Amino acid sequence: MIKVHHLNCVEIRSPGNGRAIGHCLLLEAGSRLILVDAGIGLKDTKNPDSRIGQHLINIVGFKFNEDWTAVRQIQRLGLDPGNVTDCVVSHLDPDHIGGLVDFPNAIVHVGLEEYEHFQNDNPRYLQHQLGHLPPIKTYANTSETWCGLEARKIAVSETEIYLIPLFGHTLGHCGVALKSETDWLFYVGDAYYLKEELTDPDHPVHTLAEIRADDNRLRIDSLNKVRRFRIENPHINVFAYHDASEYVTFL
């Protein structure tokens, strides 16, 4: 059975939308560690301009501090970052994969569509974030389901982890469903930024979500899937990457 640690590896002070974070998961399975999304990494904090770019930093409102990186948090937990063997990523946006380079030998698990769009030079991605050439395992669509949603089983033996397609934010964006020591968790990545998007049709953050979506129609379909899922599965904890109020409920 695995132990789940919740790590915040991003700090954003958005000019229009207040504070946002980067809610990553660290799964402890014996001595082996699995990271779900990687946040801002050490290299980003040391050279933000060359790694992320001042333009993007200004628009988004990224803040940098070495102590917030996954690798430093893993060390503070008394664990060895060298034991991170796998990183499961929701998508390949800069604030989700900057930390991958801190775990250079870890296998990166990603949806096939997402990796293909990364390789096709979609300008939203930073190619150098995979410049360390990690081993990459991609997952194509399957007929398998989890709680009624399409599910792609991640190739790790210690526990059940699935990529759950929630396309739209990016063309291959996926949530991650995983079995913790006590229950199932459904991490939905950037399917929404703030949980108010699920309930408040007039919240200003919808505008940002629409602007950042590679396919807005698909994004809205995915948001509706998450809304339905929450109603039909009230016992499963659903949370997104950037919502600070959800993060604190796990601490």
Of the candidate spans 86-94, 180-188, 194-202, 213-221, the one that interacts with Zn ion by CB under 5 A turns out to be 86-94
Q: Return the closest-CA partner of residue 154 out of 246, 40, 42, 29.
A: 29
Contacts of 119 (CB under 8 A, 6+ apart): none
Give the shortest CB-171-to-Zn ion separation in angstroms.
15
Give the shortest CB-184-to-Zn ion separation in angstroms.
23
If you count DSSP H runs as helices and E runs as strands, how many of each does the chain have, helices first?
9, 14
Give the shortest CB-146-to-Zn ion separation in angstroms.
23
Give the shortest CB-95-to-Zn ion separation in angstroms.
5
Contacts of 57 (CB under 8 A, 6+ apart): 48, 49
Comparing CB distances to Zn ion, the nearer of 2 and 176 is 176
Q: Where are the alpha helices (DSSP H) in 8-110?
A: 42-46, 48-51, 54-60, 70-76, 94-97
Separation of first and last alpha carbons in the chain: 20
Which residue in this structure is represented by tokens 């390789």? 119
Tokens of 213: 């979506």
Comparing CB distances to Zn ion, the nearer of 29 and 56 is 56
The three-class DSSP label of residue 132 is coil
Of the candidate spans 26-34, 144-152, 190-198, 222-230, the one that interacts with Zn ion by CB under 5 A turns out to be 190-198
Q: Is 197 in the site for Zn ion (CB under 5 A)?
A: no
Q: Is 37 in the site for Zn ion (CB under 5 A)?
A: no
Q: Is 190 in the site for Zn ion (CB under 5 A)?
A: yes
Backbone angles phi, psi at 208, to 5 degrees: -60, -45
Give the shortest CB-192-to-Zn ion separation in angstroms.
11
Of the candidate spans 50-58, 85-93, 148-156, 174-182, the one that interacts with Zn ion by CB under 5 A turns out to be 85-93
Number of residues that bind Zn ion (CB under 5 A): 3
Q: Which residue is nearest to Zn ion (CB)?
A: 190
Q: Return the closest-CA partner of residue 16 out of 44, 53, 58, 47.
A: 58
Q: Is 113 in the site for Zn ion (CB under 5 A)?
A: no
Give the shortest CB-37-to-Zn ion separation in angstroms.
9
Tokens of 71: 């690798």
Q: Binding pattern to Zn ion, positions 155-174, x when CB under 5 A?
A: --------------------
Q: Is 246 in the site for Zn ion (CB under 5 A)?
A: no
Give the shortest CB-30-to-Zn ion separation in angstroms.
30
Q: Is 44 in the site for Zn ion (CB under 5 A)?
A: no
Give the number of other Cβ atoms within 10 Å of residue 12's Cβ: 20
Query: What is the C-alpha separation between 50 and 149, in angstroms, rounded?
Result: 39
Residues making contact with Zn ion (CB under 5 A): 93, 95, 190
